[in-house]
Amino acid sequence: MQKIAGFGEIMQRLMTQKYQTIEQTQGFDVMYTGTALNVLASLAYFGYDTRMISKLPENALGFAARSAAQSFGVDMSRVIIGGDYLGLYFLEQGFGVRPSKVIYNREHSAFVTSHLDEYDWDAIYQDVTHVHFCGISFAVAENVRNIAVAAIKQAKERDIVVSLDFNYRPGLWSKEEAIDVYLGVLPLVDICFANQRDFSELLPFSVIDETESYEQMIEKTMQDVFSRYPNIQLIAGTKRLVLEPTFHQLQGFIATPATVVFSKAYQFDVLERIGGGDAFVAGVLHGYLGEEPLSYTVEFGVASSVYKHTILGDSNRARISDIEKLMKSSKNDMIER
């Protein structure tokens, strides 16, 4: 049976109520989240066996985070318990022309201050067939970066399929640091989530020609990447257009060394954007793990992301039947305007 693991931090999310600013709010709505958890939660909803790789503090906040992850169906038995602090992020939900704002407080969290020798890879990777990483884990701290790289190497020693979401955040680390890390780990990656701009910013050989169509840019970039990294089996990404602050368009692609397949473009109202990329990752992994055709896989990935935009919170809460119903809709526009 397939078991999918994910490496990353679980944080407490504190969101202002009723679109208030942080300065004016008198209360916050509490959730527990993280990029790896978001992916695993979606996959657990799809029926997959999932396992979290992380560290949580030994106090009520850590136990609450563990319980929240378990409520999705994610196996938390290998998560390290120790330390004092849980990472936090504060979300000021925007409205209209006022954008959302995020403030992180994670520098001294149990996960960020964890050490490589705390992780028992034989136990963590027992029965695991696939493990997912997000680029944010490379960016938050040097010791976490070292743990993530070690985790990838340990996975490859066990013939575990490795997927990586670039998710490059320039506010977290320098481009020079990111380039050095990505060039180092790409030879160990089997599945990669990134778009053509990620590659052009972080891989020195990839250049975007703005005179070409989107499809031409994707096809040329993917050819470059596959030629230099024959270990990569599949690359997937999305293109987003913000038509209005809460009305977006999303299209996806999946590439293999042999072909590139594009999804239809969805237009939809947005309740919450956070976690949409993680839902896309989970949707594509579902298609990959189920050995579905590329056309199904890319449509399922984009539809998963679109569905997540209707869910409050970072993690998607959709069954396979929910996503497939959306895929079968005869309209590219789900909203008539």
Distance separating the N- and C-terminal Cα atoms of the chain: 45
CB 124 within 8 A of CB 48: no
pLDDT digits 0-9 by tens, 249-267 = 999 999 999 999 999 999 9
Residue whose structure tokens are 């490059």: 168
Give one DSSP letter per residue of 55-74, joined into a string: EE-SSHHHHHHHHHHHHTT-
Distances (CA, A) of 238 to 85, 263, 289: 35, 9, 20
Q: What is the pTM of this model?
A: 0.94
**What count of other Cβ atoms lies within 10 Å of the Cβ of residue 67?**
11
> Is the pLDDT score of 334 beyond 60?
no
Structural domains in the chain plus CATH codes: 3-327 (3.40.1190.20)
pLDDT digits 0-9 by tens, 19-52 = 999 999 999 999 999 999 999 999 999 999 999 9
96 SS3 class? coil
CB 297 within 8 A of CB 282: no
pLDDT digits 0-9 by tens, 83-128 = 999 999 999 988 888 989 999 999 999 999 999 999 999 999 999 9
pLDDT digits 0-9 by tens, 182-214 = 999 999 999 999 987 788 788 876 666 777 888
**What count of other Cβ atoms lies within 10 Å of the Cβ of residue 85?**
19
Distance between CA 303 and CA 279 in Å, rounded?
9
The pLDDT, as a whole number, for residue 198 is 84
The pLDDT, as a whole number, for residue 170 is 82
